[in-house]
């Protein structure tokens, strides 16, 4: 759930002078994603303690089409079909159903990580680095709201493709969660039904309707 929870924590606001170079990197990245009809990505993620100790590396995947998305993480699947959100927990064979609120989309949807920087963050370009022989630009974002549970977010963007390679979320206690994109596909062919939970594929599933 870290991927989704992290996005919930980013709901802050404020206005402050920004680093123009960092803004250019973020704007180019944002336009790249917005131009796609859909995309898919496989990723790995792990927690790192304040002392630098790394936890177990886990894997996940996400598929996005407009506001619709399907997120797979260890033990859980989350579907947004544009009307409802289904959160399925494999261990308990239970799915919670809530209403999707489009007015909250910019804050709460993992489909929009590429626009979240536009409100509530001070950002700056902190450097460049090479990953697998390709140049990447690193941008640090710090919440403007004091007392936020997130102390900073670091995005690494491939310079050529303008796509996100990895990001690191650090909370107020100094603990971080690091996400790395291992595979990315733009404009994948995804039917609308792909983003709906199919109860027939999960015999005996308990449906908890919270709408």
Contacts of 13 by beta carbon, 8 Å cutoff, 6+ apart: 119, 120, 144, 145
Using one digit for the tens of pLDDT, what is the confidence trace for 161-206? 999 999 999 999 999 999 999 999 999 999 999 999 999 999 999 9
Q: Work out the burial of residue 203: count CB atoms within 10 Å of its CB; fewer than 13 is exposed, 13-18 middle, 19 or more buried.
A: exposed
Mean pLDDT over 127-153 rounds to 91
Residue range 54-96, pLDDT digits in tens: 999 999 999 999 889 999 998 999 999 999 999 999 999 999 9
- Are 44 and 180 spatial neighbours (Cβ–Cβ below 8 Å)? yes
């Amino acid at each position: 759930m870290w991927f989704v929870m992290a996005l919930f924590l980013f709901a802050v606001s404020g206005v402050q002078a920004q680093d123009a170079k960092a803004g250019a990197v973020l704007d180019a990245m944002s336009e790249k994603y917005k131009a796609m009809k859909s995309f898919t990505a496989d990723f790995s993620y792990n927690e790192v303690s304040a002392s630098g100790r790394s936890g177990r590396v886990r894997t996940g995947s996400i598929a996005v089409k407009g506001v619709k998305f399907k997120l797979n993480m260890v033990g859980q699947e989350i579907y947004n079909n544009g009307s409802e959100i289904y959160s399925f927990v494999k261990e308990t064979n239970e799915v919670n159903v809530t209403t999707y609120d489009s007015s909250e989309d910019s804050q709460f949807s993992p489909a929009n990580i590429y626009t979240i920087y536009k409100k509530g963050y001070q950002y700056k370009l902190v450097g460049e680095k090479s990953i697998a022989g390709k140049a990447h630009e690193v941008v640090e974002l710090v919440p403007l709201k004091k007392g936020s549970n997130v102390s900073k977010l670091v995005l690494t963007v491939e310079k050529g493709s303008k796509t996100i390679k990895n990001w690191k979320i650090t909370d107020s206690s100094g603990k971080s969660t690091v996400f790395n994109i291992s595979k990315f596909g733009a404009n994948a062919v995804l039917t609308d039904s792909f983003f709906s939970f199919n109860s027939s594929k999960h015999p005996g599933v308990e449906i908890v309707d919270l709408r």
